[in-house]
Structure 1
């Protein structure tokens, strides 16, 4: 008889796998939505180039470098310390400039971009449509895996309940056997006293 702990460990493994699959579904969902947005952007560029306008590639999205402050359950002083930790301090060298200052001077300068051609746009749209399709297919496959694992959870929970019921039945049987013997002894002792 397999123990309750083994089934609980199995159940925990299945639930962890489902949680990981759900996280992957969210990633593919985000990728899908991002591809849809990009397709819309590139379709607009395609329309503009078909109207004989000069178009350039859209600027790459920049990630936010500042930390987002969490105000929940924090004191004012704590928020102030968090805000100060986000500030960069610049130490000046002997010539009055530093690496941080030099880097910030070149951050705003971009290399000149070449205008897009209709073929460039069509290729990018094809790539984005493939990305959208792959994201949708992967998401669908992961949801099927989750759907297939859900019955395993029910089955494992049922096995745990069965084992617990068997343990309870054994305990009850043992208690009844003990009590039957104790009652018989008490009864025998009571009869002797009466005699």
Structure 2
């Protein structure tokens, strides 16, 4: 059985490039580096919700995802670990992030280790991680790691400067490292998920049925 783990990254940033994607990439690197140190290989799949925005609305209306969105949902549902990052709008997660959560099977994330992150312009929205994001993922029965990471504009400005050495707002790199370590520990403790066979893979096409 393969020991490779699948880490799926869900990022809900609306701009390109976005600080949301930047934070997601940093968190993912921290987790994969820790997994590598433990001798656990990891494969990363990134789901940019911005690319699926129209399809997500269609899925909410029709009740099922199709095309590229269906593949993105499979990456999420088959993941051994998830990194999920959203911008904070109106003191909560973005509507795009919530809409994607709404089209997932309510049992799909049961027991899956999840690292949560959020971005915003001010530190005042830090608590959105605890009063909005954690309850949402708890409802989906995910195993959310203790450290969630919020990055305000000032965090990016201070990261990598001398201020990061004295525990100021530039503690962002340390928070990222700690969160990545927690996710890696949770993922490594679980057996790799088996690839599930497509139940429709052997379904004949209309051409076959018609003898063509």
- TM-score, normalised relative to structure 1: 0.20
Tell me which structure has the larger Cα radius of gyration.
1
Which has the larger share of strand?
2
**Which structure is richer in relative contact order (CA contacts within 8 A, separation 6 or more)?**
1
Which has the larger share of helix?
1
